[in-house]
Amino acid sequence: MDKSLAVCIVTLSRMWAYRVISLWPGTLAVAFLGTLIGGSLVGIMARFGTGDLTAIVTDAYLHSVISFTLWQATLSTLISVGLALPIARAYARQSHFVGRRALITLMGLPMVMPVIVAVLGIVAIYGHNGVITQLMRAAGFTWSFGIYGLGGILLAHVFFNLPLAVRLLLPAWEQVPGESWRLASTLGMSSTQLFRFIEWPALSAFLPGALVIVFLLCFTSFAVVLTLGGGPGATTVEVAIYQALRFDFDPGRATLLALTQLALCATIALTMSRWLRSQPLTQGLQKGLRNRPDRNALLNRAVDVLLITLSALFIGLPIAAVVVAGLEGPLLRVILDSALWSATARSLGIALIATLTASVLALGLAMTARRLVLVQRRPGATDLVLLAGSVSLAVPPMVIGTGLFLWALITGTTEVVTLFLIALINALMVLPYALRSIAPVLIDSGRRHHKLCEQLGLQGWQRFRRIDWPAIRKPTAFAVALGSALSFGDMGVAALFDTSGAITLPVMLYHRMSAYRFDEAAVTALVLVVMSMILFWALDRIVGRWLS
């Protein structure tokens, strides 16, 4: 009896151990994330010590910063998504015209464009001496748009997030089964009725997610607020952390602000996490889009053309301004400067390490999530693993950066570990994008092929190479390309660690803008944007075709 009990216990222990060991990729990834974020938070708490948390309630400056952060994020979100709705509808309604694909690609450019570069372009078009103001002056109008302050911040946020929201909302129309459009055309539905009965129900599944993503991006926006705001009346929590550390050298205040930002972001991300999940796909007759009854009405076509043209100009003009200003600047002098290429090499190194780290973490988490849902049948645990990958939405990179920066200060290793830490924090920033691209496809591939792979004994590397990689190759390539472009152009954490002479390319551009060396800044911006595009294009193609 005792022997059989022992055998039973040993067998159960082995089964339990196997269940745990088989989850090693995700376990390692979670451990890594936990160490990095935990270490950073310990750094913050150690510095804060027995600090006065009541300051969060009593500090008037902190109140004004929090209010402004929430106010600008709310306004930016409402304007961006509010404008994106009719523009996305125009693109969906006019589903076949020459140049549509090029215009949608143009909508994707702000996503990979370094923020600091875009700000330069926005100022060139909408600033005090920008093209629009000059045209208005020539027409006899004296009014000019106040680019510095809330107006400029909103404008820049709309520049970045309107196209993002359009791209987040457009799939809603692709989800509508073709039969619905056909049905609507036999019923004789008007444009308003189409919106009410077909488009709004489809959009309602996508709209909350788009609102949450845009809100979180605007809430944690750094470079835009630093360059176009930053005064006492236009400072966000992230910028206030930077100012406390870099200008006032007040780690105590920076810690208080970082804790505040952590609490706000965690609350927002946790309460809104259910809207951040990707939407399920429904199948129908996709070709039925052509049967949309209101697409050829003259008024609708005119409205659509107007909306598409205005949005393309709004996005395209600042980008064009960056290119023109760069080409007109002291091109040779800046390009022949070795400091520019040293900064470029640093940024490139950061981008590649960050992307590689984020991809490995995303793959580990996605593989474990797949095993949990398909083999161990634990969907709740799957959600938790996937949520771990989005931790940087709740614990913003600036907060993690503050913690690690404080550690580096305490240990006196700032100059040694700077680039490595920037790369790791950027990896956390990129991880949610990579995970959202890879995980659904990997899990879907598992659903289709898991039993067959088990039957054939296809496991480990062979299964990954033969079955999984062909399925995830394209989304991985896009995630890697997007992540590297984002890291390459990121200024937030790099600016925080800007203590040694080892600056990155975006920080170099910021220095030149701050020093009013606009000619050099224009050329640096052009180099930055061209390098970002090359990086995006090259990685998308190299990874996308690897082992294809």
> Is residue 88 at the binding interface for other proteins, with CB under 8 A as the rule?
no
> Is residue 291 at the binding interface for other proteins, with CB under 8 A as the rule?
yes
> Is residue 145 at the binding interface for other proteins, with CB under 8 A as the rule?
no
Structure tokens at 405: 């920066």
DSSP state of 234: S
Contacts of 309 (CB under 8 A, 6+ apart): none
Structure tokens at 366: 């996605």
Are 246 and 498 in contact, with CB atoms under 8 Å apart? yes
Written as one letter, the residue type at 51 is G
> Is residue 187 at the binding interface for other proteins, with CB under 8 A as the rule?
yes
Judged by CB under 8 A, which of 51, 177, 208, 316 binds other proteins?
177
Judged by CB under 8 A, which of 49, 188, 231, 457 binds other proteins?
188
Cα angle: 176, vertex 178, 184; to 5 degrees: 90
> Is residue 172 at the binding interface for other proteins, with CB under 8 A as the rule?
no
Q: Which is nearer to other proteins, 19 or 182 (CB)?
A: 182
Number of residues interacting with other proteins: please give it, by CB under 8 A: 24
> Is residue 183 at the binding interface for other proteins, with CB under 8 A as the rule?
yes
Piece in contact with other proteins (CB under 8 A), picked from 172-180, 214-222, 433-441, 485-493: 172-180
Q: Which is nearer to other proteins, 205 or 471 (CB)?
A: 205
> Is residue 195 at the binding interface for other proteins, with CB under 8 A as the rule?
no
Cα gap 75→322, rounded to integer Å:
27
Shortest approach of other proteins to residue 207 CB, angstroms? 14
Are 265 and 219 in contact, with CB atoms under 8 Å apart? yes
Judged by CB under 8 A, which of 121, 230, 293, 364 binds other proteins?
293
Judged by CB under 8 A, which of 179, 250, 415, 454 binds other proteins?
179
Structure tokens at 484: 């590297």
Piece in contact with other proteins (CB under 8 A), picked from 139-147, 192-200, 242-250, 267-275: 192-200
Cα angle: 167, vertex 434, 544; to 5 degrees: 85
Judged by CB under 8 A, which of 22, 27, 144, 185 binds other proteins?
185
Cα gap 24→171, rounded to integer Å:
35
Structure tokens at 35: 């160490």
Structure tokens at 155: 């404008």
Shortest approach of other proteins to residue 193 CB, angstroms? 5
Shortest approach of other proteins to residue 200 CB, angstroms? 9
Shortest approach of other proteins to residue 176 CB, angstroms? 9
Q: Which is nearer to other proteins, 139 or 299 (CB)?
A: 299
Residues 362-421 that bind other proteins (CB under 8 A): none
Piece in contact with other proteins (CB under 8 A), picked from 46-54, 177-185, 346-354, 374-382: 177-185
Q: Which is nearer to other proteins, 201 or 232 (CB)?
A: 201
Shortest approach of other proteins to residue 291 CB, angstroms? 5
Cα gap 510→8, rounded to integer Å:
66
> Is residue 198 at the binding interface for other proteins, with CB under 8 A as the rule?
yes
Written as one letter, the residue type at 382 is T
Q: Which is nearer to other proteins, 27 or 300 (CB)?
A: 300
Shortest approach of other proteins to residue 211 CB, angstroms? 20
Q: Where are the alpha helices (DSSP H) in 338-497?
A: 338-374, 379-389, 391-394, 397-411, 414-456, 460-463, 469-489, 492-496
Shortest approach of other proteins to residue 203 CB, angstroms? 12
Piece in contact with other proteins (CB under 8 A), picked from 267-275, 286-294, 335-343, 510-518: 286-294
Contacts of 298 (CB under 8 A, 6+ apart): none
Shortest approach of other proteins to residue 213 CB, angstroms? 24
Piece in contact with other proteins (CB under 8 A), picked from 16-24, 179-187, 307-315, 510-518: 179-187
> Is residue 279 at the binding interface for other proteins, with CB under 8 A as the rule?
no
Cα gap 57→254, rounded to integer Å:
16
Are 262 and 57 in contact, with CB atoms under 8 Å apart? no
> Is residue 201 at the binding interface for other proteins, with CB under 8 A as the rule?
yes
Cα gap 28→364, rounded to integer Å:
8
Judged by CB under 8 A, which of 58, 186, 338, 455 binds other proteins?
186
Contacts of 210 (CB under 8 A, 6+ apart): 81, 84, 165, 168, 169
Cα gap 238→514, rounded to integer Å:
19
How many CB atoms neighbour CB 109 within 10 A?
A: 17
Are 414 and 501 in contact, with CB atoms under 8 Å apart? no
DSSP state of 291: G
Are 176 and 284 in contact, with CB atoms under 8 Å apart? yes
Shortest approach of other proteins to residue 165 CB, angstroms? 23
Number of residues in the chain? 548
> Is residue 301 at the binding interface for other proteins, with CB under 8 A as the rule?
no
Cα gap 357→66, rounded to integer Å:
33
Q: Which is nearer to other proteins, 169 or 358 (CB)?
A: 169
Q: Which is nearer to other proteins, 286 or 413 (CB)?
A: 286
Q: Which residues bind other proteins (CB under 8 A)?
A: 177-180, 182-190, 192-193, 196-198, 201, 284-285, 288, 291, 293
